[in-house]
Amino acid sequence: MNVELKNIHKRFGKTYANKGINLSIPSGAIQGILGENGAGKSTLMKILSGFIQADSGGEIVLDGKPVVMQSPADAIRFGVGMLHQDPLDFPPMKLLDNFLLGMPGKLFLNRKEAAQDFNRLANEYGFNFDPESYVDSLTVGERQQLEIMRLLFLGARVFIFDEPTTGISAAQKTKLFDTLQSFPKQAITTIFVSHKLEDVERLCDRVAVLRAGELVGEFTPPYETKKFVSTMFGKEITLGERQPAKTGDVVLSLKNVFLEDTRVRIDGLNVNIRAGEVIGLAGLEGSGQGMFIRACAGLVRPVGGKIFLKGKNLTGKSYYAFKREGVNFLPAARLEEGLLPGLSLLDHFILAEKPRGVFIDKAYGQRLAEERIKSFNIRGTPASMVESLSGGNQQRAELALLQTPLSLVLLEHPTRGLDIESMIYIWSKLKDRCKQDGAALIFISSDLEELLQYSDRLLVFFSGKVSEPIDASGTNVEQLGQLIGGKGWPQKGDIHA
């Protein structure tokens, strides 16, 4: 099926998520869509799959006919099906029921007939499914296959895949790619949305790059990875002056640590982090770095291995035990996990202090709050509610709450959404604090420039694989971008420390 997107606009408030996008995809093509977080990829795909409607002025044309899709169910009727990053299926149901749910037909279900269809389709595509087993016993990769089968049965002629290779095994990726490569023969059009350069290069016969809501480049093979990276990230990125790493004693030591959640697993990680060191964690969201930082905070219990803090074995201890040893974690969701909405700055500073008796010493709290607000340059008063502060000021407030003494600071996207001034300020404060207490710092960021600028060493995460520590002064945006996209990783067997 031919897909044409003509002059697609979508505005959320003042910002354009999509701005005048024109894209024409011939029938049977495998079209890659690249772009960093927030580039407008998912908005565009939601428009094409009927989840949201574009602002007036644009149109979607399928096989020459302009169509209006009011809902995803509408889109399916026009032949457009989407596989979401988190499969939209029903985990507690049997595969067959999940397959049947939403299928048009008579009032009473005919499970026997449906099972025949199910098995026939599974055979045709080489999927190995028992219709009587349960969806939650499947891996993410298998759930994708299940969804593909369902959409095929519903007559989808255009498939949209949103980050389909996140959280699936290499074997399942091969299987997925085999399936996708059989689509052109049936004139099924595929749209493959991904951050992963390697996957896009391997699979797609054409690639469009989005940046800040606009279509900024279209490519056909042979691809040049370097070109992708510079088009995706936009500007030529220059590195500022770096400070050489000053390292002290080992603060945090991970020995053969295994971590696991439903999406990724990290096998046998060994790493030593020294006082005064700043470690940047790079990788696409969900590649394992979030789990890693939570393991360092004592929030995720490793499946195997040991975690030492200043030589003390803290494996399997609670968050509280980690905190007592001077580990501070500042999560990305500031208002959900970091601060307490509904409480003032004053309340926060009092709460974070060691209790001085049962009753609150208001005068002391007031003094403390004024002093902290001044020294951290927070725009607010002791009585300001935290939720009324801007993002930058919330982040400053969190920094002002760091405990003393500090041995390890863990930060998740510390400057996400902040302006450049706040970012520089926060980093200078952080570095000062760590130097003063001899603490190490680990942070997650999706901003490559920030990673290179402020880290001494980098760990790159890719689908649960963790790189050897990389010296930040010896790498650049291109190389890092490739590693994040899964390219340039050492193959099994030639790993060297």
- Does 107 bind another protein (CB under 8 A)? Our answer is yes
Do the bridges between strand 59-62 and strand 3-12 make them parallel or antiparallel, or are there none, so unpaired?
A: antiparallel
* Contact residue for another protein among 89, 163, 398, 456 (CB under 8 A): 89
What's 162-219 look like in SS3?
Answer: ECCCCCCCHHHHHHHHHHHHHCHHHCCEEEEECCCHHHHHHHCCEEEEEECCEEEEEE
Written as six digits, the tokens of 384 are 């300001």
Which of the stretches 86-94, 159-167, 193-201, 469-477 binds another protein when contact is defined by CB under 8 A?
86-94
* Site pattern 1..40 for another protein (x: CB under 8 A): ----------------------------------------
Min separation Cβ 356 and another protein, Å: 37
Q: Which of 20, 28, 38, 72 binds another protein (CB under 8 A)?
A: 72
Judged by CB under 8 A, does residue 316 bind another protein?
A: no
Q: Which is nearer to another protein, 93 or 321 (CB)?
A: 93
* Contact call for residue 105 and another protein (CB under 8 A): yes
Measure the N-to-C terminal CA separation of the chain; round to a whole number of Å. Answer: 50
Can residue 71 be called a binding residue for another protein (CB under 8 A)? yes
- Kindly identify the residues of this chain, within the stretch 449-478, that bind another protein according to CB under 8 A: none
User: Shortest approach of another protein to residue 86 CB, angstroms?
Assistant: 9
Q: How far apart are CA 162 and CA 83, in angstroms?
A: 6
| 106 forms part of the interface with another protein (CB under 8 A) | yes
CB of 333 closer than 8 Å to CB of 413 = no
Place of tokens 């408030």: 13
What single-letter amino acid sits at 29? A
Q: Which of 108, 186, 236, 497 binds another protein (CB under 8 A)?
A: 108
Of 57 and 91, CB closest to another protein? 91
Q: What are phi and psi of 252, to 5 degrees?
A: -120, 135
Q: Which residues contact 325 (CB under 8 A, 6 or more apart)?
A: 309, 310, 312, 314, 407
221 near another protein (CB under 8 A): no
Give the one residue of 1, 61, 67, 109 binding another protein; rule: CB under 8 A.
109
Q: At a CB cut-off of 8 Å and minimum separation 6, what does 135 contact?
A: 89, 90, 91, 92, 93, 94, 95, 98, 143, 146
Residue 103 interacting with another protein (CB under 8 A):
yes
Q: Residue 286's CB: how many other CB atoms inside 10 A? A: 18
Rounded alpha-carbon distances, angstroms, from residue 310 to 80, 202, 268, 350, 403: 55, 45, 20, 28, 17
Query: Shortest Cβ distance from residue 402 to another protein (Å)?
Result: 32
- Helices 140-153, 111-124: axis angle to 10 degrees equals 110
For another protein, the binding residues in 120-139 under the rule CB under 8 A are: 134
CB atoms within 10 A of CB 241: 5
Q: Which residues pair with 3 in a beta bridge?
A: 25, 62
By CB under 8 A, tell whether 300 contacts another protein.
Answer: no
C-alpha–C-alpha distance, residues 151 and 143, integer Å: 12
Q: Is 64 in the site for another protein (CB under 8 A)?
A: no
Q: Output the smallest distance, CB 108 to another protein, in A.
A: 6
**Is 52 a binder of another protein (CB under 8 A)?**
yes
Indicate whether 46 belongs to the interface with another protein (CB under 8 A): yes
**Is 73 a residue that touches another protein (CB under 8 A)?**
yes
| Distance of closest approach, residue 8 Cβ to another protein, in angstroms | 17
Q: Give me the phi and psi of 330, to 5 degrees please.
A: -115, 100
> Which range binds another protein by CB under 8 A, 5-13, 65-73, 272-280, 466-474?
65-73
We find the least distance from the C-beta atom of residue 107 to another protein, in angstroms, to be: 5
Q: Does 51 bind another protein (CB under 8 A)?
A: yes
Binding site for another protein (CB under 8 A): 46, 51-52, 71-73, 76, 82, 88-93, 97, 100-103, 105-109, 134
